Amino acid sequence: MRRVAVIGVGFTKVGEHWNSSLRDLYAQAVLRAVSDADLELRDIQAMFIGNMSSGYLQAQEHLGSLLATHLGIQGIAAVKIEAACGSGGAAFHQAVLAVASGYYDFVIAGGIEKMTDVRTEYLTSALIMADDQEFVASTGVTFPGLNALIYRLYMEKYNVRQEDIAQFPVHEHFYAQFVEHAQYRYPITLEQVLESTIVADPIRLLECSPISDGAAAVVLCPLDIAMKRRKEGIVEVIGSALSTDAISLNEREDPTTFIATVKAAKRAYRMAKIEPRDVDVVEVHDAYSILGIINLEDLGFAEKGKGVRLVKEGEIARDGRIPTNLSGGLKARGHPVGATGIYQVAEIVKQLRGDFGKNQVDDAEIGLAQSIGGVGGTVIVNILKRIR
């Protein structure tokens, strides 16, 4: 197996792109990534595209051929990768395997989701497709509803207060002020979170990720080629693991622990030959505030039931022990579902390059990105390291 590097990143601003189509947003991200890699489009041999709902939201499938054609590189290997909200992370994982295997040298892992073109209730129907249609979605439960169950169970099991969990989006909005591509670049207070509208009890509106459009892309190649092409800014993928769990909460012994995260993290740490304490910066999946807390625990950064302490004690701040979601996370950067996992990887790469502006972590060497599909049915953990 060959060692793999990320040599280019590109993305669009996350938000409501009424005047840009799905294909145009994706092209913007890819062109920026290829330029950042100092390559030409003709150099690309394969493309893995993270997307969840283009068939339902745009009535458009077959994204591999569509987007390769739009970019003028038809003829390359190109496929859509779908793993619900984890689609982008899964696309990156597949791109890593494609390069590591020796089958391709220059590969794009991209992600795209265009979510603002439809009414909210239509989008809600699309998102619940991430769970079992026959036995769960058919009951009328929504995606926020499923996460509300996790939230309530977690508070009761660990005797944790909502006001402590709700500090997580406050943290993210503070850092989103300084992120140019973030959807919501303004701070919020704990009082605003707790007074915002209930979406699914106990989840409040300001604890939820928004409806977002966005596209992101990264370029991967063998590390030895990267070392010859770049004098600096080389980031190696030292761990990449994907794991699954039972798709529905009712089939799990403990819904407050995502076994897929635990398994994927252990595998990725083992591949990377590191432990959680070696990680310098993290991007975790937080479609709802409770997920940010649970994911920090399941990744090994806190004991179960004690994740809120990381927030309260400033441990996830830029100068804390484990800086987390300095992009603004899914809540404030935004959550264009199929692209989110690629945004996370791109943001980690920029941190490791020392190129993340006011939110830069001093001397960051190792970063981790965690991406979730459904309510923990699929989890991807990617670990990257600065080489030079």
Nearest-CA neighbor of 25 among 338, 328, 284? 338
Q: What is the pLDDT of residue 246?
A: 97
Q: Residue 388 above 80 pLDDT?
A: no
* 224, 26 Cβ separation under 8 angstroms: no
How many angstroms separate the CA atoms of 258 and 276, rounded? 17
In this predicted structure, what is the pLDDT of residue 339?
Answer: 98
Q: What integer pLDDT is reported at residue 7 of this predicted model?
A: 97
231 pLDDT band, cuts 50/70/90, is confident
Using pLDDT thresholds of 50, 70 and 90, give the confidence band for residue 232.
confident
In this structure, are residues 274 and 383 in contact, taking their beta carbons and an 8 Å threshold? Answer: yes
Condensed to tens digits (0 to 9), the pLDDT of residues 5-63 reads: 999 999 999 999 999 999 999 999 999 999 999 999 999 999 999 999 999 999 999 99
Distance CA 3, CA 10 (A): 22
CA dist 119 and 112 (Å) reads 19
Task: Report angle CA 94, 112, 372 to the nearest 5 degrees.
Answer: 60
In the numeric block, which tokens belong to residue 295?
A: 């994911």
The sheet with strand 378-386 has its strands ordered as: 77-81, 46-50, 107-114, 213-222, 4-11, 235-244, 378-386, 366-373, 281-283
CA 295, 298, 304, 306 dihedral sign is negative
62 tagged catalytic: no
Contact of 362 with 204, CB cutoff 8 Å: no
Phi, psi of 53 (to 5 degrees): -130, 25
Q: Rounded CA gap, 294 and 307, in Å?
A: 7
85 is catalytic: yes
Instruction: Find where tokens 């605003």 sit.
Output: 192
Domain residue ranges in the chain: 4-119+212-229, 138-210+238-386
Residue 239 has pLDDT above 90, yes or no: yes
Do 378 and 86 contact (CB within 8 A), yes or no?
yes
What pLDDT does residue 137 have? 92
Residue 333's pLDDT band (cuts 50, 70, 90): very high
Token output for 170? 């406050």
Q: Which amino acid is at 356?
A: F
Rg (CA), the chain: 19
Tell me the pLDDT band of 89, cut-offs 50, 70 and 90.
very high
Are 336 and 115 a contacting pair, CB within 8 Å?
Answer: yes
The verdict on pTM exceeding 0.95 is yes
**Single-letter amino acid, residue 330:** L
Per-residue pLDDT tens over the stretch 103-156:
999 999 999 999 998 999 999 999 999 999 999 999 999 999 999 999 999 999
Q: Which of the residues 17, 85, 93, 221 is marked catalytic?
A: 85
CA distance readout (Å), 201 to 3, 196, 309: 46, 12, 23
* pLDDT computed for residue 17 by the predictor: 97
Instruction: Say if 4-119+212-229 and 138-210+238-386 have the same CATH topology.
Output: yes
Over residues 273-295, the pLDDT tens digits come to 999 999 999 999 999 999 999 99
Q: Domain 4-119+212-229 maps to which CATH number in 3.40.47.10, 3.30.70.1280, 3.30.1390.20, 3.40.50.10800? A: 3.40.47.10
Q: Which amino acid is at 48?
A: F
**Locus of tokens 């980031």:** 235
- Percent of the chain topping pLDDT 70: 100
Q: Which of 17, 93, 285, 335 is catalytic?
A: 335
pLDDT interval class at 364 (50, 70, 90): very high
Amino acid at 349: V
- Quick one: CA dihedral 32, 222, 67, 382, positive or negative? negative
Tell me which fold the domain 138-210+238-386 belongs to.
Answer: Peroxisomal Thiolase; Chain A, domain 1 (3.40.47)
